[in-house]
Amino acid sequence: MLGSSGGHWPGNGFFSSGEIRKKAQDVEELANASFSWTAQKEIRFSRAIEEVLGDLEPSQEDRDARAAIVASFDSFVKQTLSGSSVVAPFGSYVTNTFTCDSDLDLSLYVNRMNPLSREEKLYFLKRVTTSLQAMHARYDQIQPIYNATVPVVKFVDRKTGIQCDLSVDNKDGASKSLVLAALSSIDKRFRPLCLLLKKWAKSHEINDASAGTLSSYVITLLAIFHLQTCSPPVLPPLSMIIGGLDLDASYCSGFISARAKAFQGFGARNMDRISELFRTFFVKITAVKALWQEGLCASTYHAQWISKWPSFHNGCICVEDFYDPSRNAAKAVTPKDFECIYQCLENSVDAFRRPITDMESFKKMIVGDGCMPKVTPPPRPEPRFPDPRDIRPSLAVPLLLQGRPHRPASGPPNRRF
């Protein structure tokens, strides 16, 4: 049987991981081979990237402002809630991949013996929201979003203009931040690549999961994946960093740091500058556009393309969440915004191909200048399989009862790659 891309599917109707990986590698190789890149253009491109990164680097005042918000809001919450509670940052502030216009992610932790239920999280979030609304002199633009997968209240600190997102007992976000911060210690190119890609996506208005585009977490995962799949690789598979660990356990922090330290210098054989890594990221992701619908998935745990079809492939783009392999971190991407995302990617690749005649205009293209015109996507076929949560309810029960699955260092059980 022929797939839509002309390849042969096995008898069970989908590509194996090995087959789809080979297809992805082939199209990426062809895309790179067609790219003309002179030494002079590389020098100018690299200079533009360095100047953009200089503009993105937060000042000491930016860092101090965020630290002050964390401290003052922690005091505010302690006054609002009786009993022991603490506010702690996570996300880009903890991983040091924030810029001056980044949001500040905060989590409220309440001292309870047992994990909080969703209803309890909402109770505490609503109490804090009520207190926020009474503090107009300090906080503004208060927007609770209680029906989200992770309920949050958004607000702006009046003194600094920094937007904050508060959730309750967000151990998921804290654990992910711990892992991402450890990766920064392995290779210094990880942080600037994340800064560039997140700024590019935000400037092109495709960095908002609630609007059907890419979350900052997905962009970071794709940056990790690119660094893992370069030749030679810059970062190791996450299985070597988190394999066998319960990321929710307090003891795992030391293990993650120690494992990451053992991999420092892992990417030394790869001599690519950040400008080259930035360019080849766009080439790689644009090359595989047609393969997402065939079950393609980017796995940072395995550091390679894998097939998620049909069990866990849902959404237009599939990026495995290393915290829970049954999750597609990019599930929020809609068909319409899939086309918008790819138009932005492809337009940037086209710009990379053209001569750099005006450095300032080229820098604006790198970080964007408003969203590129959205396109009306062609009709896309309905997914060939329904959401796996609807057809395989037995898989959801262990996740609810056990929290996240514990993955051995050698890889998850009963999975074929």
- What are the pLDDT digits (tens) for 43-52? 999 999 999 9
Question: How does DSSP assign 129-151, residue by residue?
Answer: HHHHHT-TTTEEEEEEETTSSS-
Amino acid at 146: Y
Confidence of residue 370 (pLDDT cuts 50, 70, 90): very low
pLDDT digits (tens, 9 = 90+) for 166-199: 999 999 999 999 999 999 999 999 999 999 999 9
Of residues 10 and 40, the one with the higher pLDDT is 40
The two structure tokens encoding residue 171 = 């151990």
Q: Which stretch, 115-119, 192-196, 352-356, has highest mean pLDDT? A: 192-196
Rounded to an integer, the average pLDDT of 368-395 is 39
- Mean pLDDT (the chain, rounded): 84
pLDDT (tens digit, 9 = 90+) per residue, 130-172? 999 998 889 999 999 999 889 999 999 999 999 999 999 999 9
Both structure tokens of 122 = 């909402």
Using pLDDT thresholds of 50, 70 and 90, give the confidence band for residue 369.
low
pLDDT above 90 as % of the chain = 68
pLDDT at 136: 83
Alpha helices in 88-169 (DSSP H): 92-95, 118-133
Which helix (H) or strand (E) covers residue 157, if one does?
strand 152-157
| Residue 245: alpha-carbon gap to chain centroid | 21
Alpha helix ranges (H) inside 34-137: 39-56, 60-80, 92-95, 118-133
- Express as a percent the part of the chain with pLDDT over 70: 84
**Span of 16-20, 29-33, 229-233, 307-311 with lowest mean pLDDT:** 307-311
What SS3 state is found at 173?
helix
Q: 310 pLDDT band (50/70/90 cuts)?
A: low
Which band of pLDDT confidence, cut at 50, 70 and 90, is reported for residue 376?
very low
What pLDDT does residue 288 have?
98
pLDDT of 313 reads: 62
Q: Which amino acid, 72?
A: S
Give the pLDDT mean for 358-380: 59
Residue bearing the bigger pLDDT, 188 or 406: 188
Determine the pLDDT at residue 1: 31
Among residues 215, 285, 253, which one has the least CA distance to residue 27? 285
Position 61 scores a pLDDT of: 95
Say how far apart CA 39 and CA 27 lie, in whole Å. Answer: 25
CA distance 13 to 230: 30
Instruction: List the domains of the chain with CATH numbers.
Output: 17-34+183-402 (1.10.1410.10), 60-169 (3.30.460.10)
| pLDDT recorded at residue 249 | 77
